[in-house]
Structure 1
């Protein structure tokens, strides 16, 4: 069955009653009773049409059954062949035109005659879907309609063109004037109606004011990729044809608000390709409209804050009329802003919020340039597009084929706690409180013109109560408020360290206005709290021009008012101190740290940055970056010595653990400019107490060092790069250098943690030493934390201090008495007299020796026959000795000298560097004492002997020094040591000198000590006595045989006597 389109204009024209714009009446099927003939004719016509093939909706049915396009009706051409498309008094007005996709249809309106004025013509163009298209394209090839006077008020007095769309409210915008270049209009809906009205004709031929020729086409929606997206992406040259390329995602153009012409709502553009477009983009946009594009982000990840950005990097997609000129050559195409858009009053306004009451961050018109980013401060943004009531198709050359705008939408999520956005649109203020460090950047969103942002930096930690002890004043902190008798303002716990690394202001779009005012946008650094913006437009912001600078109060424990101080001011024409080299840092490069001449340090715990913006940052971005850090001056304990971080711990409740940790003052580390760090933590308990320290955290990064148990001493020892370590020392005596104990240089793996140390004395020092730091070192890479407490244990009551010209210490294991048991593993100290040195002898061999900085050197690889060890400590180094039993003391003798004694030995250990801590602790002169420890594990008895030495005065070669040498000076000495010894050790029965010369017979015999004369006389007397004794004996021997024989003869027989007498004699 055929569909019969019914055209009332065609039916009425058959009866000679032409319809025009002035006489046309809407005709239905109402027929008067007297018009029977008319109905009969209509019936015949319907029957005839039913018997012929139906035409398309885009065609006109001729009387002869032919089909011609609708635009050929009443075009003064007999297209049907029977003139049925050109009836008398016909008109192309008041008709609906359809078409097919791919075809272009021309349409022309002729100039009406004077009697037809006012002339009104309605033309409706409809896309009927599928092959009949989805979008209507209207091209105004030649257009002259009245006169164009103004864009804003009574701009079309003679007549105008108005365009309305299906289901859209009538807005009343008008076009008029003259144009000879094509202008294109694309419909938003499937049907659009244009109304051409001419109210008056020109009075003369020169004032010809009507010409209307146009074309229309029907387009498919999928081919309108400029508006809807979804086109094929750009293919590279080497992409093969067989490659499957998916089309791009279509644009999300928002949801039309009911009852409005073009206002739309956009939501959750983080998952959609949102585009904000002018109505009828990319064609002519309507006149007298105000469109609102409300963008809102509903779904925001937890802990994040949404920022909405609109931009357009392609300048060819922006063309909003900004010039009222109708002829001539247009000025350079550019994006105009603010008041420059008041000429035509076609502009786009971006609001930082959801209403027009929110701050305006951008207003632009024109085109040909990229639209800069306009970023909202929150999850809502409003774009307003407003056009003037009147317009014209006349443009200065060159004419743009694209009209309106298209803006891209992007949603960014930032940390909700970051100072990257303002929380109140009318108050740009940020509070950064804490104890950490961070980076301050300019707000990520756009700031309206004449905005002042305040960044309040305040160091505060509410979890830690204020220290009752004032912080130590250092010269590097500009206090200026300390006095000898009292403290006016206690130094705060925190200070703010700020380094500005970048400040950049984009030049003005108007080059003529760049030098009109200096420092339109600036960044000020205030020492203290500034509560309101200051008024200063001078380049150097002199003090007499400062206004409304409030006073602030120190945030210390006691408080006190003082004026804020302007530290620096940055602007486009003047850059103050910067630390821009820090921007070169990366994972492999560590630039030098920022010095105080390149940065700022507050005198209190607060500092304020004031950012003043004169122009919207959407147009003139202001970028800055600053590194801030809250310097924590708090240190546990009390000040100790002159070290920057040395602390003393004395008062404690027994069995109550208290925490302590490494300093967090950044200026003590490499990132603050320091090269070395040496902190001494001095724990001093009562005489009957001991110190218990537990390390719970130990961080030493970027150091190749390991902590292992030393098998010789059963203590932790550091192996490798010992440039950073924590060392334990005991101080049993105040006048003796500390005795080294354990060393830890690694603990991140948790192998040796927690480590608990219990002392043998009541005084312990923990030393935190770091050398060779760079800008990557701070308390996050070099740190320790632990607890301490004082405990009661059995104490050693014996006197472990030994003095004297010589002596011997006997070590036995196991102990033979309870008194000795309490003193096991306790060190003994030998103290020389004034200006004296010590010489120790131990039977054994040196296993290892090490300096107090941790450098260890093996002396011998000989295997020790016992697990017992004797450790010797001098002021600079320590030595572990494998002792031999007392019966073999003359084999493998170990000799030890106190510090300061120079020997000629070349086989001994080389001199070790001086320990700076010991110098600070004991003074500039090294201690000459020697500490001896015995580490017993198996049965044995060992002796350590010492001898007190004195230097022999050096006599000059000329011998003049002999005049000042006393007669008894260095009367007793060890030649092999070239040392003087005390007379009490000379010939005391113990060989104290290495060669034993002090016990030689030549020195110890009293006879040999007499003078030579006495020795001669004694020898002469002895000789004479000997001679006399011999003479007397000889005489007696001559008388003695006669009496003897007589006696013998009386007692013997006669035979025997005669024979014997005869033998002796003979």
Structure 2
């Protein structure tokens, strides 16, 4: 005979079939031959019970049973159907023996987002998970029968640049008082909710009696925990969140004779100890083995950091005999693949002894440079491998979960070689750290406060020299230029809130771009301070480094050159720049551009390019105040001169000349303070109303050191300093001749007189006498040589 446990309460498409509690009987044990219950034809020659996994006897045979003893705990099929065949001997039963079993439905598996091969081999790809619109995937242990030596695999495969995380979530604590039939059906309803894809949930009975049942709910992220109160109503059992559980009538909540048997079927879902924490990974003894096995590791679960079962890349192995489950532990791959394999030597009638509800997800582990070994997220950008590009905060948000509460530090190091480049340039375009409502540290002192921040620094003389710090949003891009061949950018996130603020946050915490600049054609990176000087591009000594004849080199071979010079100016000096010579291959500003930046200014003060080359020859003077001098005795911050253009040698060339000017001091009433001019390097006052002067050694040096202001100044302004200049030069007696002339520092009237007055007459006289003496000796030697042979001939005859 058979006895049914009741009609099914879960959709048939998501269920498996269960046959349980079969018992053989014999009325008189003394006269009945005792044969232990067995499985197989060799044990059952007369009477037997055969169980098939399918609709008929042509389906796979699960087992053939006979004898006297305890039947397997339960048998669970792989589909909606199970075929049971009872055969007796033609002579009939001798003692009217038989069997008794119950038949019921069992919740099926969650629909896994992947491709199934064979019975239990899965390919769980990132693309399949994305197509299902889920952020995480789930796969469960085998919940049905399987033969001995079964091997099931789960190949979790991500896209290029991704890594895989696998973990077994843990449930919150709950208490279990008594399980009723209603509790069992509610649990089955929960399994159907999961299988239908509503959410990653599992409902565990907390309290079940005739009045109602209370269940606990936990999602896979283990962040939310709710209690569901189920109260019996006339229309059925309803969930506290408004979800109706179908199929529960008024009689389902009462305990009956079948309650004990129903409870035995769901003991897998309930911890053995009241009040213990629920787990989605449990290791039990093998309850219904097909083949007896007395050794260790009859069933095992192995995780490989590979795309195949590689013994050299085992992360963890769990065995049914000695392993302990690991809950809320992340198993992370180092490549796009993770391989999980379940092996069973014994087989099972009712599912695996290793019960696991595994979650997996993928993280983008794309790097922008070379990863630093044994670090969380450090990278190095070498100029010869990564000459430029964009960077951002790590795309792998898993780093915010793997620090164990310590601060998250990601350092990006930019390294170059002076033979290639002399500078690194970083431009930070956005900073988006989250504001914490209970954080007392405000972003006022970025370097000192314990806040999330972005720090840019360089090592100078074995000390950290901070260049910039950002802990709040920036309104516009900020560019930072190194003074050497290395620079570091470091992101620091406080560990106490890293998980809650940034784990699985797709938005970047910062974005920046970088490049390496100032190649060999640019020459030295620092110029000045000096009264005058010149900046020549390309650097003549570096032209020899250009390989091969220029005509034979392809046009695309040469990169776009960027040069950044620092021009230092002495204290209390103005600066005048003059683009004296320039030759550009094209007539557009895209081919060549010279920009001059002052300290603290984001926009360039001057822009010189082929389109405005005529205006570039009359640049205004930059005063000491414009240069940002902080004190009378301190040098102002350097002036940055940047050239961007074609790097092909000979295509673009220019000569930029600078002069440090002394600004004429004034008294409070506006008159010239002559007393301050002594020992001040003011020997020649430039014409016009510029109020600047230059020292004597800059006169007649071949460079126009005085600004050309003839087109904006009157004749009176241009000639008002002539007498003073002539007096300083010792040419005051020529003042009447030069009253109507504009005398510049390179005027021929000054330079000619100065050269004549400085001629070394004494040296000239000595040189003349020396030359005369040498000439006399040469003539005497020649005469002696010419007379010698003829005089000897006449003497002989």
Bin for the TM-score computed over the shorter chain:
0.3 to 0.5
| Greater RCO, CA 8 A, separation 6+ | 2
TM norm structure 2: 0.40
TM norm structure 1: 0.31
